[in-house]
Structure 1
Amino acid sequence: MTLMLAVTPVVLLIILMAFLKMSGDKSSVISLIVTMLIAALGFHLSTANLLYSFLYGALKAVSPILIIIWMAIFSYNVLLKTQKMEVIKQQFSSISTDKSIQVLLLTWGFGGLLEAMAGFGTAVAIPAAILISLGFKPIFSATVSLIANSVATAFGAIGTPVLVLAKETNLDVLQLSSNVVLQLSVLMFLIPFVLLFLTDRKVKSLPKNIFLALLVGGVSFVSQYLAARYMGAESPAIIGSILSIIVIVAYGKLTASKEERAQKSPLRLKEILNAWSVYLLILLLIILTSPLFPNLRSVLESNWITRISLPINDSTVNYTISWLTHAGVLLFIGTFIGGLIQGAKVKDIFNVLWNTAKQLKKTFVTVICLVGLSTVMDASGMIAVIATALAAATGGLYPLFAPVIGCLGTFITGSDTSSNILFGKLQASVAGQINVSPDWLSAANTVGATGGKIISPQSIAIATSAGNQQGKEGEILKAAIPYALVYVAIAGIIVFIFS
């Protein structure tokens, strides 16, 4: 009965969104109310703990998630206002007129780089918005952006998920990082192929799609493994994405027709740099404030800090925001300066900012309710009940299902990092009971979490916001579920075979 109550919020959310096709904001409000009732009546969470856990979740939703979503869409809308998005579209077309190459470059390459640098939704919002501007359908753009935003999340936001996992489990970062890449190895080849196939399903395109997927997957795997093995968690996704972009662009140029190669781009370097100034500045700011520059980051992190303490379950939970290294603030600064460079007036930029907030009002409701829901589930013990039940039910077959627990964590919380905080210790402790390496099973949590990212309601809310498709969350969830299930199944088989 306890297990049935614990899984009710998750099942209810899926039914409302995927099958009843209810909008994300309405689904999340209903699911939150039901979760709070179950927490209070079924798990005896006190009223004070219930309110404080929801408040903690709401704070986590606002920062970093909602601020980053707001600023990511704001950056795109500024490009529309200054009409520089047309220049970016021209440039993508000049690299290759092949739609599949454009999709792979934007979602796997550019999206992977955004995930590696900032995370928290930027890798879904920005590529999806650009794809729509290039003429792709909104639902397709959202779906491929979600599928692509899987593998890279393992080392997203400068390796945060793996660094947190190492801290939670007291395991070696280099070993964990290497295991994560090894467990993701097959998926590094399959996901690029899926993206190419979804864009171009023609049988005659299969050889080209297979070759390009093998090429990009090979570059991603080798570069990420070497970076993970010898450098740690901070750099694999960054290096892998940059090299992928180089390979995809080179392939696009080499396979272009004679007519395309003969055509000289009408764009001058100055125009290109001006059009990309927003994203280039954002990237520069993210790099400068990342752990790659520890001294500068340390100085910035120790100033302009907001701290809030909340009493939950007889302990104090600390909520801290370091504004000077906050990805949302960096997105705003880069966009604001870039907008001025592109000729926008200060008044126009702030008008775009306000209109973007109005555009995202349903997303704000959805994400606050979803993160609040996950925090209430955690505080009441629901998540622990589900994970422990799965571990007990599977026994010696547990490694096969270890990624499922990571997937569940990301589906509920929307974050690979949060999934590792919730279940990292559980995975390591179960490993000790069944004589499997704790490094291997703990890594499986992160790998499963990357699959859960594809169908996380929070990620879907971001994707619908990018294409102004609020209300169609259920349609996107239904389209993405099969890919997430296959993804996690493949991860489970790899973890089981080599455990």
Structure 2
Amino acid sequence: MYQQVLAPLFGSLGWSALAASLPLLVLFALLGLVRMTAWKASLIALAVALAVAMVIYPMPADQALLSAALGAAFGFFPILWIVINAIWIYQMTVITGHFDVLQRSFSRISGDRRIQAVIIAFCFGALLEALAGFGTPVAITTVMLLALGISPMTSAVVALVANTAPVAYGALASPLVTLASVTELPLAELGALTGRQTPVLAVFVPVVLVGIIDGMRGVRETLPATLTCGITFAVAQFVAANHVSVPLTDIIAALVAAGATVLLLRVWSPSGAEPPTTANPDGRTQVLRAHAPYLIIIAVFVAAQLGPVADLLDATTVTFGWPGLDVRDAGGEMLSITEFKFNWLSGAGSLLLIAGLLTIPAIGIGGRAALGRYGATYRQLAWPIVTVMTVLAIAYVMNTSGQTATLGTWMAAAGGLFAFLSPILGWLGVAVTGSDTSSNSLFGALQVTAAEHAGMDPMLAAAANGSGGVLGKMISPQNLAIAAGAVGMAGREGDLFRRVLPFSLGFLLIMCLLVFLQSTPVLAWMTQL
């Protein structure tokens, strides 16, 4: 048995926090400065994390290695299991030609590739985030953007940056459900307060996406469409989170934003844009088949949330303690992350596999061809698979050894400045784990405790953890690997990291200022709407 120690180095929380940050510093330095491929950088960072755990923290070697094994297993299931099956569905549509049909159908919405990209990356991506989460929108929208003729690097950057504002309510609000569980705060109030933070980001994200694709000229030419998309998404997200349903928030916001943008395009188009294609050379049957995989995905995930179906699927879930792993927190309580939840039928990846099997007859692909694409998907994602499993191994070693708790506790000692730092803690958690759900699980209770000591509203601090966390997702090595692997750029995750880091930090600064002002009389009214 290992019990965490939060200040193992000279009994100093500051020095211990510096030591605990070494795996992250090494990982991001190798990615951003040395430009090392992600799988190599993550393996080196894992070695550093294990060394810190065993040398500086008094963690036995067997417990450290078992933690790494548990993290690697979690990296494959559920995370990679989702990505693999999502990209497999896409690959089947490519070889049958249905993806080309889908691309042409988007051109009938607008002849402007920039606006098509916003609808795909932001609106459709938000819908996928709402239903599945865990990397699914990045995996699918990246390749859809590539099909529009956007370069692989830009496609990956746009997909990653777009996957921000919707993340807090992803997978039917799983991050907030987890946050409510670990903090014992009401889900409805957490969801409502988060709905007074992330919509501020949503207003600007579509504008930023066009800027990434076409610079300031593109921003000016498409501003009516991007503002319509961002503002309607923000308003719908606020209204749904506060007055309708927390789990359905992103579904409502995505559909409202897409609908409002399409309506605008019927009466307005950007200057210099090609008129939308009105002719339909594919025929209604072909268009329906092209949309079928995504309609099937939505139908399968919606059906899986229905009471009787959800109960039936959940009955097959097996949860067990990872063999040999016995880790307690500083207070002596067993860590919940030492359990492995094997929801082999109800997990998002398994639902995507079911959707893929239903897609086979829907698009008319042969069984042998579909199986061949499945094998090709694994080969395409070989190095991203290594990267994601290794990064999650790092996260679990840091979490179980106490390195993550040390960093969080050190930041929580900031007193009055904690309101400003609170979103950074969530950002750090998602940067490490790639999941807002995991970050809320790690730091949710810590945020509440720190807020109480700092004289800050605990509800505001808890919500800030999730809202700040969404901005760490684009720089998480696992999501960088997913995006790079989806467009055949495995090995260039460092280049991708440098492209998205400024957006991550810029949005994070906005969120830090917003939460700080919400903790003061200046914007306190926002928390009472």
Question: In the aligned structure 2, how far is the partner of 1:255 from the partner of 1:338?
Answer: 36
Give, as a single letter, the amino acid of the residue that structure 2 aligns with 1:229: N
Q: 1:329 is matched with which residue? A: 350
Give, as a single letter, the amino acid of the residue that structure 2 aligns with 1:381: G
The structure-2 alpha-carbon separation of the partners of 1:37 and 1:435, relative to structure 1 and needing over 3 Å to count, comes to same
Question: In the aligned structure 1, how far is the partner of 2:222 from the partner of 2:516?
Answer: 29
| The one of 47, 61, 71 aligned to 1:47 | 61
Question: In the aligned structure 2, how far is the partner of 1:496 from the partner of 1:286?
Answer: 37
Question: Is residue 2:277 matched to residue 1:275?
Answer: no
* Shift, 1:15, TM fit: 0.6
Question: Is residue 2:89 matched to residue 1:75?
Answer: yes
Give, as a single letter, the amino acid of the residue that structure 2 aligns with 1:59: A
Q: 1:446 is matched with which residue? A: 466
Q: 2:304 is matched with which residue? A: 289
Q: Is the 8 A contact 2:297 2:352 kept in 1?
A: yes
Q: 2:406 is matched with which residue? A: 385
CA RMSD of aligned residues (A): 1.7
Question: In the aligned structure 2, how far is the partner of 1:185 from the partner of 1:262?
Answer: 33
Q: 2:175 is matched with which residue? A: 161
Q: Which stretch has the larger CA shift, 315-324 or 339-348? A: 315-324
Question: Is residue 2:340 matched to residue 1:319?
Answer: yes
Q: 2:434 is matched with which residue? A: 414
Q: Percent identity?
A: 32
Give SS of 1:151's match.
Answer: coil
Q: Is the 8 A contact 1:79 1:339 kept in 2?
A: no
Give SS of 2:149's match.
Answer: coil
Q: Is the 8 A contact 1:101 1:252 kept in 2?
A: no
The structure-2 alpha-carbon separation of the partners of 1:262 and 1:387, relative to structure 1 and needing over 3 Å to count, comes to closer
Question: Is residue 2:365 matched to residue 1:344?
Answer: yes
Give, as a single letter, the amino acid of the residue that structure 2 aligns with 1:267: D
* Shift, 1:14, TM fit: 0.6
Deviation sequence 1:74-110 (CA, Å, 0-9, x none): 1111111211111011111121121210110010011
The structure-2 alpha-carbon separation of the partners of 1:107 and 1:35, relative to structure 1 and needing over 3 Å to count, comes to same
* Shift, 1:51, TM fit: 1.9
Question: In the aligned structure 2, how far is the partner of 1:421 from the partner of 1:306?
Answer: 17
Larger relative helix fraction: 1
> Could you tell me the TM-score, scaled by structure 1's length?
0.96
* Shift, 1:256, TM fit: 4.5
The structure-2 alpha-carbon separation of the partners of 1:342 and 1:387, relative to structure 1 and needing over 3 Å to count, comes to same
| The one of 209, 225, 244 aligned to 2:222 | 209
Question: In the aligned structure 1, how far is the partner of 2:368 from the partner of 2:93?
Answer: 15
Q: 1:100 is matched with which residue? A: 114
Question: In the aligned structure 1, how far is the partner of 2:221 from the partner of 2:260?
Answer: 14
Question: In the aligned structure 2, how far is the partner of 1:185 from the partner of 1:148?
Answer: 13
Question: Is residue 2:283 matched to residue 1:263?
Answer: no
* Shift, 1:70, TM fit: 0.7
Q: 2:42 is matched with which residue? A: 28
Q: 2:487 is matched with which residue? A: 467
Question: In the aligned structure 2, how far is the partner of 1:96 from the partner of 1:474?
Answer: 34
Deviation sequence 1:35-81 (CA, Å, 0-9, x none): 11111011111122112211211121111101111111111111112
Question: In the aligned structure 1, how far is the partner of 2:392 from the partner of 2:80?
Answer: 11
Q: Is the 8 A contact 2:82 2:349 kept in 1?
A: yes
Question: In the aligned structure 2, how far is the partner of 1:110 from the partner of 1:23?
Answer: 30
* Shift, 1:340, TM fit: 2.4
Question: In the aligned structure 2, how far is the partner of 1:115 from the partner of 1:188?
Answer: 14
* Shift, 1:318, TM fit: 2.1
Give SS of 1:320's match.
Answer: strand
Question: Structure 1: where are the runs of 5+ without partners?
Answer: none
Deviation sequence 1:392-445 (CA, Å, 0-9, x none): 1x3211101110000000000110000001100111111111222111110000
Question: In the aligned structure 2, how far is the partner of 1:256 from the partner of 1:269?
Answer: 25
* Shift, 1:201, TM fit: 2.1
Question: In the aligned structure 2, how far is the partner of 1:83 from the partner of 1:323?
Answer: 31
Question: In the aligned structure 1, how far is the partner of 2:226 from the partner of 2:365?
Answer: 40
Q: 2:145 is matched with which residue? A: 131
Give SS of 1:260's match.
Answer: coil
Q: 2:247 is matched with which residue? A: 234
Q: Is the 8 A contact 2:107 2:277 kept in 1?
A: no
Give SS of 2:418's match.
Answer: helix
Q: Which stretch has the larger CA shift, 183-192 or 135-144? A: 183-192
Question: In the aligned structure 2, how far is the partner of 1:38 from the partner of 1:89?
Answer: 49
Q: Is the 8 A contact 2:381 2:486 kept in 1?
A: no
Q: Is the 8 A contact 2:115 2:225 kept in 1?
A: no
* Shift, 1:264, TM fit: 2.6
| The one of 497, 500, 503 aligned to 1:477 | 497
Give SS of 1:319's match.
Answer: strand
The structure-2 alpha-carbon separation of the partners of 1:330 and 1:391, relative to structure 1 and needing over 3 Å to count, comes to same
> Could you tell me the TM-score, scaled by structure 2's length?
0.90
Q: Is the 8 A contact 1:18 1:477 kept in 2?
A: yes
Give SS of 2:370's match.
Answer: helix
Q: Is the 8 A contact 1:312 1:379 kept in 2?
A: no
Count of matched residue positions in the alignment of Structure 1 and Structure 2? 495
| The one of 372, 394, 400 aligned to 2:393 | 372
Give SS of 2:266's match.
Answer: helix
Q: Is the 8 A contact 2:167 2:470 kept in 1?
A: yes
Give, as a single letter, the amino acid of the residue that structure 1 aligns with 2:79: I
Question: In the aligned structure 1, how far is the partner of 2:67 from the partner of 2:448?
Answer: 26
Q: Is the 8 A contact 2:207 2:219 kept in 1?
A: no
Q: Which stretch has the larger CA shift, 373-382 or 176-185? A: 176-185
Q: Which stretch has the larger CA shift, 315-324 or 462-471? A: 315-324
